[in-house]
Chain A
C-alpha cells in the first residue's frame, strides 16, 4: 500500500523539487530514475505473489480512496518506469544543466515528473473520479510538453483532450447518478440494476478515452503533435500518454462492467482496432518525414491494443484464450512503450546529426552513427513483431488467441500489420545503409546519448527472450472476466 502511494507521490515530490531547485533541477533525474525504477521492480516482485493494494488513510470504500495494483498495472508501471527513466536521462542532453537557462529547461522537468505521476496514478486507481483527476493531470502535462514542438498541433491536441475529458466526466456523472458510487468494483456489483444509464455513461466515457488514446478514426491529432515535438517529448507522448487512457478503458469494460459487455461493443472495438492497424500503417508507408512516420506507426500500433476486446471477450463473450489475449495486450503495451520511445530517441539523434528530418537526410547514417542505427533497427524489429523481441511475443499470443477463438480475420490483420510495419520501417533503415560515403554529421551534445535508445531497444528484446516471468505477472490477478481462460493456457 505504502509502495503504491510512494510510486504516485514521489514523482509529485520530484515535480515540486524540480521547481524549487531552479537550475539544479535537471540533476534530480539522477536520483529519480534509479529510485522510481527500483520501486517499480519491487512492486512487480510484490504483486507477483499477491495483488498489492488498500485504501488510502485507512478509510474503507466508498469513503476512502482505493489504490490497487494488479499484475498488468505492475508490469506497465515497470515498463513505463524504465521508459521514463531512460528518456529522462536522455533529456538531460537537451534540457540539462550544460545549456544556458531557458524557459524550456525550467518547464520541462516539472511537466515530466507530473506526467510520470499521472501515469502511475492511472495505473493504480480503482475509482472513476480518481482516474479522471489522473488523466486530467496527464493531459495537461502532455499538451504543455507537446507545445515544445508545434503550438498549433498542441492546440488541436488540447481541444481533443478537453472534449474527451468532458465526455468522460459526463459519463462519470451519469454512472454516479445511476448507481451511486464511483468505485469500479462497486459499480460492477450494482450496474445490472441500472443497465441502460450505465451503458450510456460507459459509451460517453469510452468516446472520451478513445479520443485521448487516438484510436482510429479519432487519431488525427496524434501524428502532428507527436511528430513535431522534441525527441524526448515525442517518446513520452507516444510511449506513455496514450497507453494511460487505454488502461482506463480496460478498467471500465473489464472490471466495472464485465456483465454489460455485449458482442456488438466488443466487435466495435475490435473493428476500430483493426482499421487503425491497416490505416495507420498505410499512412506510415507514405510519410517522407522520419518522425511523422514513427508517429503514424503509433496510430497503427495502438490498434493492436484494442484487439484485446474481441480476443479476450468479456462477460459472457469470454474466449478460451482470454488469458493469452490479456497477456498479449500487456506484452504489446510494454514492448511498444520501450521500442517506440527508443525509436523516437534514435530518430531525434539522427535528425540532430544530419540536420534533416526527411528520409533522404538519413542516407549513409549507418556508417556515421552505428550505435544509434543499431538501436533504431532493434526497436524496429520489435515493432514489426519479429523475434526475438517483446513485440513478437505479443503478436504470437494474439495470433494464437485469435485462431483458437475462431476469429481468423483478426489474425490476417495482425499478419498484414506486421508486414506493413516491416515495409515502412525498412524504408528509413535502407536509407541508413545506402550509399558508399560516410556523411559528415553534427556532433551530438554528449557521446553517450545513443546509449539511451540502445538501452530501450535491449529492454524490448529482453522482454521477448525472458518472457516467462513478465507473462505470469501480466496475467496474475486478472480481472474476473479474464480468469476463466487462465486454465486453458497451461498445457
Chain B
C-alpha cells in the first residue's frame, strides 16, 4: 500500500489529537500548550511534504464507505491544499497567540479542545472529495465554533451565539436540502467528477444552485445573511481570528468555489445564467460591507464588516468564471486570511494591553506599541490594495478577470471598494501614528510590564507573510503561483 494515501487522514488527525488531549489535560497548562504547538508544527511539516507532492502532480485520496454508494472521501488536490496550507500556517500563529491571550483565564481546556476541533473541520472541508463529506465537516465546524463564540458566557456572547446558530443552522438546512435534492436525481456527487445534471430541468438545477449557494452564503456572510458575523465579535480575539481568517467564513467561500467548479462546472453555471447574478450579489456585499464598516466606531466591529466585504471578493472571483478572476478569488482566500488575522491579532492586543476598543481611543498608540501597530498598518494598507502588500495582487487579478469575462463594471466595484477601504482604514492609521497621544493611553512603563512577545509576534509574522505574498507573488510557491497552478489545472486538464 502506498503510504501517501494516508496523508489526508494524517492532516485531519493532527489537530484531532490535541483536541482530545486538551480536553483531558485540563489541569496541565504546560503540557497542553506543548501538545498544541507540537501538533501544529507537525501539521505544517506534513503540509510541506504534501505541497511538494501535489506540485509534482500527485493527488492523495482516502475513502471509507458510509451507506452503500455514499463514501466519506478525503482528497488532496491543489485547491484543497491551498486551504489546508492556509489553515495550517494560521493555526500555528493563532495557537501561539491564543496561549498568550488566554493565559490565566478559566476554561482554557475547553477552548483549546474546540479550537482544535475547528481546525479538524477546516482541514476536512478543504479535503472533502464529495458533497456529503463536505457537509459532514461543514456541520462539525458549525457546532465546534459555537462553544468558542459563547466562550466568555456573558449575555452578549450568548446572544451572539444564538444569532450565529440561527443563521448557520438555517444555512445548513438549505444546503442539506440542496444536496439531497441534487443527489436524489444524480446519485452521490464527487468533486472529481462533478454532478450529473441531465435529470434536472433548467429550473430545478437553478433552484438547487440557489439552495446550495444560499446555504453556503450564510457562513460566507453574503448579504442578507451576514448579521451573525458582526455580532460574533463578542468572542475572544483568537476566536475572531478563527472566524474571520482561518475557518468559518473561508469554509463558506471555499464551498462556493467547489460548487461552481467541481459540482456544476463553470460551463453549466454560465449556461444556466447563474454566474452574473452571483457576481452582482457578491459586489453588492462588497460595497455594503464597506459602507457599514465606515459607520462603526468600534475597532472589532469595523473589522468584522470589513470581512463581510472582503470575503465576497472570493465569491466574486469564482462567479466571474474567467481564469484571471478565479486566480484573483482563490489568491484572496489566502491573502485575506493573512491580512485579516493580522488585524484581529492587533485589535486583540490593543484591547488586552491598552484597553482600546474604540477607534477614537487609538490616538498616538502607534508610538507606544510600534510592532503591533506596524503589523496592523501593513495589513490595513494591504486591505486597501496598496502595492506591494498582498491585497493589491488579488484586486489586480480580479480587475483583469472582470475585463476578461466582459464584466468591466467589476472594475468600478473594485475601485469603489478600495476607496471605501481607504476611507475606513486610513483614519485609524492616521490616529495611531500622527495624532498626539491621548492621556488615556497607558504609560510606556505600564506597557513594558505587560509586554508578552507571544501576543505580539504572531501578528508581526502574519503581516510579514502578507507583505511577502505580495512581494514574491511571482514565485511558484507563492499563493499567487499556487492559485495559478490550480486554475491551469481547471482550464487545461
Contact = CB atoms under 8 A, between A and B. Distances in A.
A427 B170 CA distance: 16
Nearest to B181: A403
A145 interface: no
B158 A430 contact: yes
A404 B184 contact: yes
Contact of A436 (B23, B110, B152, B183): B152
Contacts of A370: 23, 26, 109-110
A436 B151 CA distance: 9
B177 interface: yes
Contacts of A467: 66-67
Nearest to B151: A433
Contacts of B143: 377, 381, 386
Contact of A435 (B69, B153, B180, B187): B153
Most buried by B among A324, A327, A364, A436: A436
A403 B186 CA distance: 12
Interface of B: 23, 26, 64-69, 72, 106-107, 109-110, 132, 135-136, 139-140, 142-143, 147, 150, 152-155, 158, 161-162, 165, 169-170, 172-173, 176-177, 180-181, 183-185, 187-188
19 contacts: A377-B143, A392-B139, A399-B180, A403-B180, A403-B181, A404-B185, A411-B177, A419-B170, A430-B150, A430-B158, A433-B158, A433-B161, A438-B106, A466-B64, A489-B67, A489-B68, A489-B69, A490-B68, A490-B69
A438 B26 CA distance: 15
Given A324-B67, A433-B150, A434-B150, 16 more contacts: A366-B110, A370-B109, A374-B23, A381-B143, A388-B139, A397-B67, A400-B180, A404-B185, A411-B177, A426-B162, A426-B165, A433-B161, A436-B152, A438-B106, A467-B66, A468-B66
Interface string A415-438: 100110010001000100111101
Contacts of A387: 135-136, 139-140
A219 to B, nearest CB: 25
Question: Can you list the 7 inter-chain pairs with the closest CB atoms, starting with the nearest?
Answer: A403-B184, A387-B136, A468-B65, A399-B180, A471-B67, A491-B69, A404-B184
A396 B180 contact: yes
Contacts of B140: 387-388
Contacts of A419: 169-170, 173
Contact of B153 (A324, A392, A434): A434
Interface residues on A, range: 35 or more
B68 A433 contact: no
A288 interface: no
Nearest to B162: A430
A393 interface: yes
Nearest to B133: A387
Given A364-B153, A403-B181, A491-B188, A388 B136 contact: yes
Contacts of B172: 386
A352 interface: no
Interface string A459-491: 000000111100110000000000000000111
Interface string A62-88: 000000000000000000000000000
A367 interface: yes
A468 B23 CA distance: 30
A116 to B, nearest CB: 29
A436 B153 contact: yes
A167 to B, nearest CB: 36
A331 to B, nearest CB: 8
Contact of A415 (B23, B68, B177): B177
Nearest to A371: B23
B173 A418 contact: yes
Given A415-B177, A433-B147, A491-B187, A386 B67 contact: no
B66 A393 contact: yes
